[in-house]
Amino acid sequence: MFNKLKARWKVNTVSLVLVITTFALGGSLCGYAGRKLLLLTGLERGFIWILLYILLVTILWPVCVLLISIPLGQFTFFKNYIVKIGKRIARKKNIDKSTTIKLAVFASGAGSNAEKIIAASKNGLQAKYYNSIKDVIQNEKDSLNWEVALIVCNKANAGVIQIAMDNNIPVLVIEKERFIKADNYLPELKKHNIDFIVLAGFLWKIPEALIMAYQKKIINIHPALLPKYGGAGMYGSKVHEKVIAAHEKESGITIHYVDELYDHGEIIFQAVCTINDTDTAETLAQKIHALEHTHYPVVINSLLQKQNDS
């Protein structure tokens, strides 16, 4: 338990003891102060007295803890801790009041990543995944209200379309001329109130007008460790074949913002898998898919959380 607390609060053993001591002494002080203040009211112990006592303790606790933290050298920790609690309460209130964030998933193929993202939006995120990307996640237990509101596909027979139909999600099948040179389907995205775009195996280059309309709100997942093995024509099995041919010892996934160039935008997150001497492009693809399915929904949630906080 203590090791988990040290990791969660990012403190050493001595600091952990001082933090726990501050919690205990601060709690005792606010309880004592609450009783003393109630004595001044002349109320007898009863239901109203208990309610007022709980209210006073709730109000006094941050003040008492901060006071105790000063001589114990833990003021900075508890100031940040109390601010974090306040932000979390405010954020939950905002989430309750706000509308659901709507995502469009762009895909060209079978749609396995899209399926995982849809499942995460409907059923929530599995907590066991958080530890593996704790540097990306700021608030492990928080989750926004978001949904996949539209599937965008450039192939009328792609498997992702059936996944969308199974989940009662609208599908927009696009054609290249309009996507690249005309209105970029921006009116359709606005019609569905799309707030954020996720590329999940989408093979066309995103036009500049769409990038400008959704600045820092379009992300992609690439099946290699960028900047290696990226660029035009580097997708799917072609990437894995290149990696195997180069006798790399590691590969992985890269989640990045989308800009005007293929596989070029700012890197958000990477996860690594090892490559054995017996691996082929097919077995490497299986490892990469496992990383994609594990991490992509969680990183999406984290990015939406950060944007909501800013």
As annotated, the active-site residues are: 222
Sign of the torsion angle spanned by Cα atoms 142, 123, 271, 267: negative
Alpha-carbon distance of 162 to 141, in angstroms, equals 32
Give CB contacts under 8 A, 24+ apart, made by 183-186. Answer: 184/209, 184/210, 184/213, 185/152, 185/210, 186/210, 186/213
Closest CA to 113 of 173, 193, 202: 202
- Please tell me whether the peptide bond between 227 and the residue prior to it is cis, using omega within 30 degrees of 0: yes
Helix ranges (H only) for 98-207 are 112-123, 159-166, 176-181, 186-191
* Helix axes 75-97 and 13-41, enclosed angle (nearest 10): 70
Q: Which two tokens stand for residue 250?
A: 């590691």
Q: Which two tokens stand for residue 15?
A: 């600091």
DSSP codes, 7-50: HHHT--HHHHHHHHHHHHHHHHHHHHHHHHHHHHHTPPSSHHHH
Q: Which two tokens stand for residue 45?
A: 């112990």
